[in-house]
Structure 1
Amino acid sequence: MTATEASLAPVALVVDDEPQMRAIVTFALETQGFRCLEAGSAERAWELVETTPLDLVVLDVMLPGEDGIALCRRIREGYQVPVILLTARSEVGDRVEGLESGADDYLTKPFSPRELALRAQAVVRRSRPAVSPGRIVVGSLEIDLATMRASDQGEPLQLSVNELRLLVALASRPGEPIAWRDLVHEVWATVSDEGGREMLKTAVYRLRSRLEADPSRPERILTVRGVGYRMLPR
């Protein structure tokens, strides 16, 4: 895989406390074009979820400490990344519990690496935002790039040029933590880091006032501590 191909490849986080199983899953996904990160514990997995833009999490249920079901619930509370659960349990009740935790798919061990890879491709494809030429849709938010107009739940949003640029930057990568410096560069380009950060905070505040039911408790434009911001579909 070239450097360019790697930068465009979907990123999967493989979480299992058994190195051999991580290697099997990683190999299966990499053969289908994924770039893989690995974690041997829920704690390490959560660190990567919080700091790394991910397209998929493949998560073993039987982790030491915090198990995969609990971690899946925690991921689902704040992130839209698809999750596939892996487990040796094959009972219907276990499958139901896994899906109720927010998992997008559930695969029992032993499994076919080819089947895992195909399911991974399917859940990632389904998770992609609805984007057509000149149009971005994230939940109830719609942006027409041709006219540079945005609406939420069918109601037009009155935004400044820079507010709309910021909204486009966030909505183009839903669920992905975006560094504040990258957002400043995309929206204002030439301002300094110090001045740009303050301008960004002000623009985020204004967007929240238009998009959030309670701007003091945002659910759509979230702060990622130490990184920047990310947008969730609602």
Structure 2
Amino acid sequence: MTDAMPLAFVVDDEPAMLDIITFALETQGFETESFRAAETTWTALGRTRPDLIVLDVMLPGMSGMSLCQKIKAKWDIPVVLVTAKGDVSDRIAGLEAEADDYIAKPFHPRELALRAQRLMRRAETGKVIVTSAGGLELDPANHDVIVNSERVPLTVNEFKILSALVSRPNTTLDFAQLLLLGWGESDRIGEREMIKAAIYRMRHKLDKASPGSSTVIESVRGTGYLLRTE
């Protein structure tokens, strides 16, 4: 990894697609390394930690979905899943694997590059944000939540959603607002499923660290979510 440019791992078994993705990223200031299998990518992660991984779902041997789960269990590296399938259930499966974003083939290279740039943009800086609800503390510098003195790592989108809820306690944020805050878009197919999957993962992580702490995130049926402090 260089100091000048963020490093992206690009994983796809199709040479033409590798060329398209690497070109799109390199024109936007990324350094890239290309891989054609999940196994070789995993080995490379043992020596180098990239800033971003663009990962095809359909790979020979280990699937991209399985590799994403392994990566997220060990490191907080932003992952964009690339899939040939455009149905909602496939996208939900990717989000349940804790991918930070997804893009379906065929796609415009510029769109992919913009999604990658957005994931790299760490706007949250400064002091720790504290809320009394459930004893949650958000650390923008590390993108994690502190509960019961234990740090719980979150994905970029999970952190953005939780930050939004914390900054507006006892206020219902609808699905469109949460989508905009988490993914930078106000309208997207399957938006409710995306938000629900992210909230489900956050609740699971919070409960694992401190049983019952996730109950401060309440579902407002048919509308969205709120963070309860009263």
Whole-Å separation in 1 of the counterparts to 2:100 and 2:58:
18
Cα distance, 1:40–1:131 mapped onto 2, change above 3 Å: farther
1:112 to 108, 116, 134: 108
Gaps of 5+ in 2: 128-138, 151-208, 210-230
Count of paired positions? 138
Whole-Å separation in 2 of the counterparts to 1:95 and 1:136:
27
Alpha-carbon offset, residue 105 of structure 1: 0.5
Aligned pair 1:25/2:25, yes or no?
no
2:43 to 36, 47, 51: 47
Determine the structure 2 residue equivalent to 1:130: 125
Alpha-carbon offset, residue 125 of structure 1: 1.3
2:66 to 66, 70, 73: 70
Determine the structure 2 residue equivalent to 1:59: 55
Cα distance, 1:111–1:77 mapped onto 2, change above 3 Å: same
SS of the residue corresponding to residue 115 of structure 2 reads helix
Determine the structure 2 residue equivalent to 1:9: 5
Whole-Å separation in 1 of the counterparts to 2:33 and 2:118:
19
The one-letter amino acid paired with 1:98 is G
Whole-Å separation in 2 of the counterparts to 1:137 and 1:109:
33
Cα distance, 1:29–1:131 mapped onto 2, change above 3 Å: farther
SS of the residue corresponding to residue 81 of structure 1 reads coil
Whole-Å separation in 2 of the counterparts to 1:51 and 1:82:
17
Determine the structure 1 residue equivalent to 2:204: none
Deviation above 2 Å: which 4+ runs of structure 1?
128-132, 135-141
The one-letter amino acid paired with 1:130 is T
Question: Following superposition of structure 1 onto structure 2, how do residues 1-234 of structure 1 map, counting pairs within 5 Å?
Answer: 7-126=3-122, 130=125, 137-138=141-142, 139=144, 153=149
Contact 1:140 1:153 in 2 (8 A): no
Gaps of 5+ in 1: 142-151, 155-212, 214-234
Determine the structure 2 residue equivalent to 1:204: none
Determine the structure 1 residue equivalent to 2:203: none
Contact 1:88 1:110 in 2 (8 A): yes
Cα distance, 1:89–1:33 mapped onto 2, change above 3 Å: same
Alpha-carbon offset, residue 53 of structure 1: 2.2
Structural RMSD (CA): 2.6
Determine the structure 2 residue equivalent to 1:170: none
Whole-Å separation in 2 of the counterparts to 1:129 and 1:53:
22
Whole-Å separation in 1 of the counterparts to 2:34 and 2:65:
18
TM-score (norm 1): 0.54
